[in-house]
Amino acid sequence: MRAEKERLFKLRAEINEHNYLYHALNKPVLSDQAFDQLFAQLQAMEAQYPQWASADSPVQRIGAAPVASLQSVAHQVPMLSLDNIFSEADWLEVDRRIHRRWQADAAAITYVCEPKLDGLAISLRYVNGSLVRAATRGDGQQGEDVTHTLRTVANVPLQLRDPATQGGVGALPELLEVRGEVLIPRTTFATLQAAAVQRGEKPLANARNAAAGSVRQLDPKVAASRGLRFYAYAVAESSQELPGSQRELLTWLQGLGFSLAQEIHCVSGAQAVMQQFRQLGEQRAQLPYEIDGMVIKVDSLAGQALLGFVARAPRWAVAWKFPAEEVRSRLLNVVWQVGRTGALTPVAEVEPVEVGGVTVRHATLHNAAEIQRLGLHIGDTVVLYRAGDVIPKIDRVVVELRVPEAEPVVQPRCCPECGSDILQPEAEVVARCSGGLYCKAQRLEALVHFVSRRAMAIDGLGEKWLSQLLESGQVQQPADLYRLEKKALLTLERMGERLADKILGAVEKSKATTLPRFLYALGIRTVGEATALALARHFQDLENLLQADQHTLEEIPDVGPVTAAFILGFFHQDYNRRVMRELLQAGIHWPTMELVAHGAAGSMVITGTLSQLTREEARQLLLKMGLRVASAVSAKTRAVIVGTDPGSKYTEAQRLGIPVWSEADFLQVLRQHGLWPLN
């Protein structure tokens, strides 16, 4: 047994050492096959002797269970960012400033030039050499705990290498917090991208987003499949004294088992840094990972301490960013896409060109204002740039090359999907299709909203079912939901008897609603719950609302010109009116609004104990209806709400002839205002 235990621990140490040689030093001595054999042996042994298994073991990277959600983590030492610079002049100014503040008479300052890795910043905390926590940067003060996913990153040491026992210098620090960048290497990203496309999924925007998404996965197995890598570049906290320079610090980290970016150089003087920047720019396209510039750090840690920080960035380091890559192409056409919320987005179609190793055919244009700014004509020669993202942007038009037949690009007046009017209230940048319930592009979104809990509350009818119902043509608009038959529902994939009954029951139940809920469910742009309630309170019934003009609408608190325009635009469409009529014919109904007069309504008084809600909740709800709560009954009191064991306020109300509401009366009023049940 002892011999077995020794063998297991030796095997584990051996594998850790090979991982170190492979990942940290880039000098593997074993073939992949030989390594895999060792690994399999350890796996078998740990399975056989679970009593000796350890979370630090290299075979335990992936096994952890998914987490329910990401927990917030406070950074002991804040995670700062760097100031950006963009030119040689900027850099010379930074160098001068550093001289002034720190070494006015020194001939040259020693700098470490590191690639600016384009991933996301991560902090790794080690206690007694074991990885105990990994966190994202977040806002710099608070990040998210991503220990479960970072543990799966092949080159993150789970256990630090002890420099002393390995013939190095120094001992293992009791506490160490290391910072670095996690990213997906280029070739890995290309493979993931190809696989996603093959599965018919939307291509991932870029390697950085993919890395961020992978790190924030709840299931470590998913993260493990993304080929993430971690490169260390700083120490936030250490219980042990650190070496005297950034260069030595990095070497020390490497000795502890961390991988470093390959392209790190220590040079002397501002000119040499510029030389490094040019060189890194030339290497950029061949590097194994995406970088977006070069980070320049004062090498001396004493110098760093002396220079200190301004606001959220150090004075001893800057990020010199690469200019975005530019290419020219020709604008072939502009297509207008309608999003799920009706937003109209112009997309440029350009003659295919290569930018940064990717063939580009489309460019985003954001909105009509952007087109105006560019002065874009079809047929124009345009300058495109790509800033890391797969879809590039148009930077400018080469006006000198404009052909005489070039036509200006104009925003359509009608929705390209459904032909409804395009609305663009003044002061809004985004133009939208007013087709709401009618427009194909918006139907799913509209239905999902319609059935949602705070709208018609049709339980069990989620997006998955709605999109199937849309696809099969059984449902095109909300009123169709009230015509659904069980037979038809059962034709859906994975739909069973019980679920179908449940859905039909929920549809039936939703017919009894309130006016505010109904108005909210229609999904009129910018009409949220509060506005729906204000509209219902003001107009009291749908007919009055349908007849309102812009002016009347704008008089309502909570309704500005933009919202008024959207409301009118919505009711103006025949199709929307028809859907509303059909909904009412299907049996949707609501109690008439008990008018709680707005304006000078007087105040309410509560006495006794309410069983369904606290005093404070009651007070808040009354406030939402525009009613204040007073502590004493007077002639101006609107009504008194009476719970169990009421006090003298009850008798006072009776004496003054003031209306008395039981708790049930109160809840009924709340219900009519869409405020009950509480959500």
What is the contact surface with ligand IVH in residues (CB under 6 A)?
Answer: 80-82, 114, 116-117, 121, 137, 181, 233-234, 295, 314, 317, 319
As measured in angstroms, the least distance from the Cβ of 102 to ligand IVH is: 17
* Buried-state track 397-436, b at ≥16 Cβ within 10 A, e below 16: beeeeeeeebeebebeeebebbebebbbbeeeebbbbbbb
Q: For residues 415 and 437, give the distance between their C-alpha atoms in angstroms, rounded to a whole number.
A: 13
Phi, psi of 148 (to 5 degrees): -60, -35
User: Cβ-count burial of 647 within 10 angstroms (0-12 exposed, 13-18 middle, 19+ buried)?
Assistant: exposed
As measured in angstroms, the least distance from the Cβ of 468 to ligand IVH is: 42
CB-based contact 289:117 (threshold 8 Å): yes
Q: What is the 3-state secondary structure (H, E, C) of 165-203?
A: CCCCCCCCCCEEEEEEEEECCHHHHHHHHHHHHHCCCCC
One-letter amino acid of 534: A
Q: State which residue has the least CB distance to ligand IVH.
A: 121
As measured in angstroms, the least distance from the Cβ of 320 to ligand IVH is: 11
* Alpha carbon separation from 45 to 5, 40, 42, 158 (Å, rounded): 9, 9, 5, 19
Residues making up the chain, counted from first to last: 679
Q: Please say which residue, 306 or 542, places its beta carbon nearer to ligand IVH.
A: 306
- By annotation, the residues acting in catalysis are 116
Q: Please say which residue, 117 or 134, places its beta carbon nearer to ligand IVH.
A: 117
Q: Please say which residue, 17 or 263, places its beta carbon nearer to ligand IVH.
A: 263
As measured in angstroms, the least distance from the Cβ of 232 to ligand IVH is: 9
Q: Please say which residue, 34 or 74, places its beta carbon nearer to ligand IVH.
A: 74
677: cis peptide before it, omega within 30°?
yes
As measured in angstroms, the least distance from the Cβ of 173 to ligand IVH is: 20
Q: Please say which residue, 307 or 641, places its beta carbon nearer to ligand IVH.
A: 307
Q: Please say which residue, 294 or 521, places its beta carbon nearer to ligand IVH.
A: 294
* Buried-state track 41-59, b at ≥16 Cβ within 10 A, e below 16: bbeebbeeeeeebeebbbb
* Alpha carbon separation from 543 to 10, 435, 548, 571 (Å, rounded): 82, 21, 9, 11
Q: Please say which residue, 123 or 477, places its beta carbon nearer to ligand IVH.
A: 123
As measured in angstroms, the least distance from the Cβ of 117 to ligand IVH is: 4
Per-residue tokens: 458: 């049709």
Strands laid side by side in the 317-321 sheet? 83-85, 317-321, 291-298, 110-117, 265-268
